[in-house]
Amino acid sequence: MKIKFYANGGKPKAKAAKKTLTAEAKALGLEVTASGKPDVIISLGGDGTMLRAVHEFPDVPILGLNLGGLGYLSSVGEREFIKALRMLAKDRYSVSERTMLEVRHGDSAAIALNEIAILTGMTGHAAVMDVESLGRAVTRYMADGLVVATPTGSTAYSLAAGGPVLMPDVGVVVMTPLNPHALGARPVVVRDTVRFSVTSRRRANGAHEPLGVYADGEKAFELAADESVEIRRAAITAKLVELDGYDPYEVMARKLGWSGSNVK
């Protein structure tokens, strides 16, 4: 098997880990390459590093080794690094195809594994957004923004905004408003075959709040008044390596600190 390490250059630990793991990988019979197309990319860093790897190598399976904080995507902890390499060497893994989203504005498009976020600036004013699906009105939000997340991204920005946790293999997306000015505005889960358009509108007094559109945290577009974006399932998927024994419920409990009820 040919592997390539993709390290976060801003983390001193990543450089040291790459050196150590390169030697370990070669001892296990894995071929470590710095060029060409590998069989597996090994991301060394946090979830941000892994997201960058997904965008840079969209057709290569990626295994995330966590050197960051929460590390939900890069769920393999430092104590398990060598074990992970051994499992790769013995083909003890599978590849999970994860849904990605595409956001389109005119002739331009961007894709995201976690979420598409439509956000106001630091003005303190809420934005007005009309959401439609196939020409039908869904709702009008007055809020600080809107997050449309995949199952993979449901444990990131969407969760922090009050959205639900989705299992990785469900064919849905979740739309979560940020600080909506309506008690009835709640996250909505729909099939991932649904296409949405989100249009930036003026407030009742004629004022308009410019909106930034972000794909996995990277700014893709800015919306002026009455401009729209379309959000839909992308034609490509992200390929994430899951080592034998991977359990999304165990990862959820461990990463989110869920330990069950305290009631005796």
pLDDT tens track for 20-46: 999 999 999 999 998 888 999 999 998
pLDDT at 84: 95
Region 94-101: mean pLDDT is: 96
Region 53-68: mean pLDDT is: 92
Question: Is residue 244 in some structural domain?
Answer: no
Region 210-215: mean pLDDT is: 95
Predicted confidence (pLDDT) at residue 227 exceeds the cutoff of 90: yes
DSSP states of the chain as a string?
-EEEEEE-TT-HHHHHHHHHHHHHHHHTTPEE-SSS--SEEEEEESHHHHHHHHHHSTTS-EEEEE-SSS-SSS-B-GGGHHHHHHHHHTT-EEEEEEEEEEEEETTEEEEESSEEEEEE-TTSPPEEEEEEETTEEEEEEEESEEEEE-TGGGGTHHHHTTPPP--TT-SEEEEEEES-SSTT---EEEETT--EEEEEE--TTS----EEEEETTEEEEEE-TT-EEEEEEEEEEEEEEEETT--HHHHHHHHHT-------
Binning pLDDT at 50, 70 and 90, where does residue 264 land? Answer: low
Question: Is residue 242 in some structural domain?
Answer: no
Domain count, the chain: 2
Region 127-134: mean pLDDT is: 94
pLDDT at 251: 84
Question: Is residue 262 in some structural domain?
Answer: no
How large a percentage of the chain has pLDDT more than 70? 97
pLDDT at 192: 96
CATH classification at residue 19: 3.40.50.10330
Region 138-156: mean pLDDT is: 95
CATH classification at residue 114: 2.60.200.30
Region 141-157: mean pLDDT is: 96
More confident residue, 259 or 44: 44
Question: Is residue 246 in some structural domain?
Answer: no
Binning pLDDT at 50, 70 and 90, where does residue 72 land? Answer: confident
pLDDT at 108: 96
Structure tokens at 71: 């590390």
Predicted confidence (pLDDT) at residue 175 exceeds the cutoff of 70: yes
pLDDT at 260: 62
Return the number of other C-beta atoms located less than 10 Å from residue 125's C-beta: 12
Predicted confidence (pLDDT) at residue 70 exceeds the cutoff of 90: no
Binning pLDDT at 50, 70 and 90, where does residue 81 land? Answer: very high
Question: Is residue 263 in some structural domain?
Answer: no
Query: How far is it, in rounded angstroms, from Cα 173 to Cα 166?
Result: 9
Q: Are residues 47 and 79 in the same domain?
A: yes
Binning pLDDT at 50, 70 and 90, where does residue 258 land? Answer: confident
Q: Which domain holds residue 29?
A: 2-91
Token pair 């060409």 in the structure block, residue: 36
Q: Are residues 105 and 204 in the same domain?
A: yes
Predicted confidence (pLDDT) at residue 263 exceeds the cutoff of 60: no
pLDDT at 201: 96
Closest CA to 85 of 25, 126, 41: 25
Question: Is residue 248 in some structural domain?
Answer: no
Q: Tens of pLDDT along 181-200?
A: 988 899 999 999 999 999 99
Which is the catalytic residue, given 47, 107, 169, 247?
47
247 noted as active-site residue: no
Q: Are residues 166 and 75 in the same domain?
A: no
pLDDT at 189: 96
Token pair 């390290």 in the structure block, residue: 7
Q: Are residues 222 and 113 in the same domain?
A: yes
The last residue of a domain, from among 70, 91, 112: 91
Q: Are residues 85 and 169 in the same domain?
A: no
